Structure 1
Amino acid sequence: MVPSFTFRPPLPSDVESLAVLHVRCWREAYGHLLPEEFFTEERLESRRRLWAMLTAPPSEAPQPGQTIRVAEAAGEVVGFAGGGAPLDPEEASLGQNLSMLYLRQDFHGSGAGQALFDAVLPSGPAFLWVAQDNPRAQAFYRRNGFVLDGVEDVLEDFGGITEARMVRR
């Protein structure tokens, strides 16, 4: 049975569940790339701060032009996505930016990831960064018209994971 989902903007009351979900999704997506010591209380606290900032009233929002949506199933937040204007002016020529898309592993293949993607990223030129060693995510983005453009970046503060940029023209 396919679960029923609700999609909505995140609320301040979601901060804790989103922070916990964010770290859980990191563990599910990158656990084979990162040591267990990566998943500390400090990481969880950094996600709490991020989500407190992202759920602040619009007048206090640090990232104008961003759309963020969460997916709920049975009253529980199970995924989230964010996209919009690029945060780095040097990437503005690439179009809109998918800044994040995470869905609990037990909901992969449910359609929720595609619905979140569609809710935050309009059609047209866009780009995103994805872990180089994340073939499932890369396949999802290819189905949505993205291709690797050869640009990579090593995230030293994220366990040295190499990210690859994907673009859609």
Structure 2
Amino acid sequence: MVPSFTLRPPRPSDAEDLAILHVRCWREAYGHLLSEDFFTEERLDRRRRLWAMLTAAPQPGRTIMVAESDGEVVGFAGGGEPLDPEEASFGQNLSMLYLRRDFHGSGAGQALFDSVLPPGRAFLWVAKDNPRAQAFYRRNGFALDGAEDVLEDFGGITEARMVRH
């Protein structure tokens, strides 16, 4: 049975749950790429601070939405104007999209994606070794453009840029 969900903007009271979910989704998506000592209390604390800031007030030019099921936040996405002005020529930016593994295939990922990223020119960065995510983005019109970056502060994971024209 496909789980049901609703979408809504995040609230300040969601910050703790979002921080925990963020780290859980990292573990589910990148656990095969990151050592266990990556998942520290300090990383969780940084996510707490991030989500406290993101839920405190709307971010100009950005949209954040959460997927909720049975009163529990199960996914989130953010998009809008590029965070880096040098990337403005690529259009809108999908800055994050994470969904609990048990909600993959439920339609929640697509709904989150559609809620934060309008049609048209856009870009995103995705882990190079994340074929499931890359397939999802290809279905939404994105293609790898050859740009890559190694995230030294994120366990050395290589990310690749995908663009939609």
**TM tier relative to shorter chain:** over 0.9
Quote the Cα distance in structure 1 between the aligned partners of 2:2 and 2:159. 32
Alignment of 1:105 with 2:101, yes or no, is yes
User: How many correspondences in the alignment?
Assistant: 165
Quote the Cα distance in structure 2 between the aligned partners of 1:125 and 1:16. 33
Residue identity in the other structure for 1:74: D
Q: Deviations over 1:121-165 (max 9, x none)?
A: 000000000000000000000000000000000000000000000
Match of 1:123 among 114, 119, 127: 119
Q: Deviations over 1:2-38 (max 9, x none)?
A: 2221100100000110000000000000000000000
Task: Report the TM-score, using the length of structure 2 for normalisation.
Answer: 0.99
Gaps of 5+ in 1: none
Which residue is equivalent to 1:28? 28
Q: Percent identity?
A: 85
Shift of 1:66: 0.5
Within 5 Å, which residues of 2 pair with 1:149-160? 149-160=145-156
SS of 2:56's equivalent in the other structure is: coil
Gaps of 5+ in 2: none
Quote the Cα distance in structure 2 between the aligned partners of 1:31 and 1:114. 23
Find runs of 4+ consecutive structure 1 residues off by over 2 angstroms.
none
Match of 1:140 among 133, 136, 139: 136
Q: CA RMSD in A?
A: 0.6
Quote the Cα distance in structure 1 between the aligned partners of 2:69 and 2:138. 26
